[in-house]
Amino acid sequence: MAQIKATNLNIGYDNNVVAKNLCFEINKGDYVCVVGENGSGKSTLIKTLLGLLPKLGGNFEFAEGLQKTGIGYLPQRTDFQKDFPASVKEIVLSGCLANKKFKVFYSKKDKILAEENMRHLEIFDLKNKPFSVLSGGQQQRVLLARALCSTKDLLVLDEPVSGLDTISTHEMYDVLKKLNQSGITIIMVSHDLNSVTKFASHILHIGKDVFFGTAKGYEQTPQFKKLVEQGGHNNGH
Amino acid sequence: MDISFWDIICQDYVIIALVVVLLTALCSSLFGVTLVLKRFSYIGDGLSHAAFGVMAVAAVLNLSNSLWLTLPITIVVAIILLCGGPNSKIKGDASIAIISVSALAIGYVLMNVFGTSPNVSGDICSALFGSMSIVNMGTTELFVAIGLSVFVLVVFVLLYHKIFAITFDENFAKATGTKTKVLQVLMAIVLAVLIVLAMKLVGSLLVSALIIFPALSAMRIFKSFLGVTIASSIIGVCCAFVGFLLAVLIPSLPVGATIVLVNLVSFGIFSCIAAFAKKAA
């Protein structure tokens, strides 16, 4: 059974429909990239799936049990305050709060999980550093570690590499690839068409002409060619 | 001199007042961290003006204890303001301004027109800037203050991690199953309680100083949430203690405003230390 299944889903803000009639089916282990022009509703789709925005029509459902284990979410980096006083450890641990009913202290298990994820993403040495002094790539890995504390199944990422330098971007893609190979489903909004077609198993293109299918098939579509021509976010072929 | 100073300090009413002052300062500075980081400082300000309006109504109605009117109404206003949603940010700003100035005007008019007390302007002054003397704090006020403070402290300790999560990243918290709406309402209630509690002491115009100064001072130097929270509460309590002692020693000093000024001085000191530390690094 599909992990997420959407039928004729309409999304948007404040009753303004941005994209409509989205149909897609995401299975466990898929690596789905959401692409489209600016303002086509990519982030809106993510926020709707996460329950941050109400859907404006149609339907989508999660596989049973998915919501219990939780969804890992990596928001856009622009959403954060620069001067927020928080250590790396505090932020990663906060991912362990997901779906817990009530909890005054973190359990031993939470702390071990957070430590594992920090080691895995090579930020364990930074655990007592303030978030605000880290580089963009390090901050993204902290937020990814937090997301991993809240899920074992599904990661949802909103432009994880925007604003990162080339090296950090590559590292980010490597990490995501490994996570995907370990069985975690990935849904990612991206502007970076090269990498999208290289790493993703499926593409969801939203805009005037909706496309959902394999990454191979997407490269043959007029939507892909149009996005490449516009080239604004395509970092050279 | 020493003996007479201790004589003053050891009076019952002084100790009661001191306890109330320290508890109020502790609670305000704890929640101040979240309120400052969530950019809610201005809501506290608007809310305290609304509370002034309600207090005026209570005075006109000749209620023996204005708390039973101010507390519930302030809570309702806080929920409306805080849970109005981020979608209407500009409208939210404006609505806070409208509520706060209207409440001030209504309060002032009511107290002047219907005020039964022989010293109306004195009453208004103490509502705006806090009581001139600490003598009028009785044991009832002590128990109310203790009760409210305990409520605020318990909420804070039990929900510390959730408070951190929604302060740092509300969307993530919501997406991963935290009931952000419930927490928001709870925060609104706590904020209203804090304001009602602190208003007695520093008056409605100075309330937000007690909430934001310790947090801002702590944030100059400490960079983790736990560090800032602990530092903020220590700074808040120390400033309140020093301000209180000064006001006891020098009778012409008003308690509330003195505490606020001590907070201002400590903010200056912490800013300087942070600036030097930056240069040295």
Contacts of A130 in chain B (CB under 8 A): 223-224
> What pLDDT shows up at residue A123?
93
B69 touches B58 (CB < 8 A): yes
Give how far B145 is from chain A: nearest CA, Å: 25
Domains of chain B listed by start with CATH number: 2-276 (1.10.3470.10)
Residue B137 structure tokens: 């704090």
Q: Scanning every residue of chain B, which has its alpha carbon at the shortest distance from the alpha carbon of A101?
A: B178
What is the reported pLDDT for B273?
Answer: 95
Residues 6+ apart with CB under 8 A from A21: A8, A9, A10, A58, A210
Highest mean pLDDT among A91-95, B64-68, B99-103: A91-95
Q: How many CB atoms lie within 10 A of CB B60?
A: 16
CA distance B27 to B220: 20
User: At B205, is the pLDDT very low, low, confident or very high (cuts 50, 70, 90)?
Assistant: confident
**B173 in contact with A at a CB cutoff of 8 Å?**
yes
Amino acid A70: pLDDT: 75
**Yes or no, beta carbons of A87 and B168 under 8 Å apart:** no
B176 close contact with A: CB closer than 8 A: yes
- Contact assignment for A99 to B225 by CB distance below 8 Å: no
**pLDDT exceeds 90 at position B63:** no
Q: Distance between CA atoms of B65 and B59, rounded to whole angstroms?
A: 9
DSSP letters for A204-216: EE-SSS-EEEEHH
Q: What is the pLDDT of residue B132?
A: 62
Q: Does residue A150 sit at the B interface (CB-CB below 8 Å)?
A: yes
Count of A-B CB contacts under 8 Å: 89
Taking residues B173-184, what's their average pLDDT? 86
pLDDT in the model for residue B97: 84
CA dihedral (A82, A84, A89, A93) in degrees, to 10, reads -110
Q: What is the pLDDT of residues B34-44, one digit of tens each?
A: 989 987 777 88
Highest mean pLDDT among A54-58, B139-143, B263-267: B263-267
* pLDDT value of position B151: 92
The CATH 3.40.50.300 portion of chain A extends over: 1-70+154-237
- Alpha-carbon dihedral angle through residues A80, A85, A89, A93, given to the nearest 10 degrees: -60
What's the pLDDT score for residue A79?
A: 62
Cβ pair B175:A99 closer than 8 A: no
User: B46 with B167: CB under 8 angstroms?
Assistant: no
State the pLDDT confidence band at B225, using cuts at 50, 70 and 90.
very high
Out of A81, A85, A97, the one facing B161 most closely (by C-beta) is A97
The Cα of B274 is separated from the nearest Cα of chain A by a number of Å equal to 14
What pLDDT shows up at residue B89? Answer: 53
Contact (CB<8Å) A150/B174: no
- The complex's ipTM? 0.87
**Cα nearest neighbour of A94 on chain B:** B165
Q: Please give, rounded to a whole number of angstroms, the shortest distance from the CA of B193 to a CA of chain A.
A: 22
Q: Which residue has the tokens 């149609």?
A: A58
Instruction: Select from 3.30.70.120, 3.30.70.100, 3.40.50.300, 3.40.50.720 the CATH code of A1-70+154-237.
Output: 3.40.50.300
In the prediction, which pLDDT does B164 show? 93
pLDDT for the residue numbered B232:
97
For the stretch B1-50, pLDDT in tens is: 455 667 777 777 788 888 888 999 999 999 999 989 987 777 888 888 89
Q: Which residue in the set A75, A104, A156 is minimally distant from B169, CB to CB?
A: A75
A31-35 and A4-13 beta bridge pairing: unpaired
DSSP string computed for A35-99? E-STTSSHHHHHHHHTTSS---EEEEEEPTTHHHH-EEEE--GGGS-TT---BHHHHHHHGGGTT
Buried b or exposed e, range B3-37, using 16+ CB within 10 angstroms: eeeeeeeeeeebebbbebbbbbbbbbbbbbbbbbb
Above 80 in pLDDT, residue B158? yes
Q: Residue A138: phi, psi to the nearest 5?
A: -65, -40
Cα separation, A197 vs A107, whole angstroms:
41
Yes or no, beta carbons of B177 and A70 under 8 Å apart: yes
Rg of chain B on CA atoms, in Å: 19
Contacts of A223 (CB under 8 A, 6+ apart): A205, A207, A209, A211
Residue A1 burial by Cβ neighbours in a 10 Å radius (0-12, 13-18, 19+): exposed
Interface residue B178 vs chain A (CB under 8 A): yes
- DSSP 3-state assignment of B143? helix
Strand segments, DSSP code E, in B19-66 are none
State whether residue A60 sits within 8 Å of chain B by CB.
no
Q: Is the pLDDT of residue B211 over 80?
A: yes
Enumerate residue ranges in chain A where pLDDT < 70. Answer: 1, 67-69, 78-80, 99-102, 231-237
Subunit contact B224:A95, Cβ cutoff 8 A: no
A127 contacts: CB under 8 Å, gap ≥ 6: A87, A88, A89, A92, A118
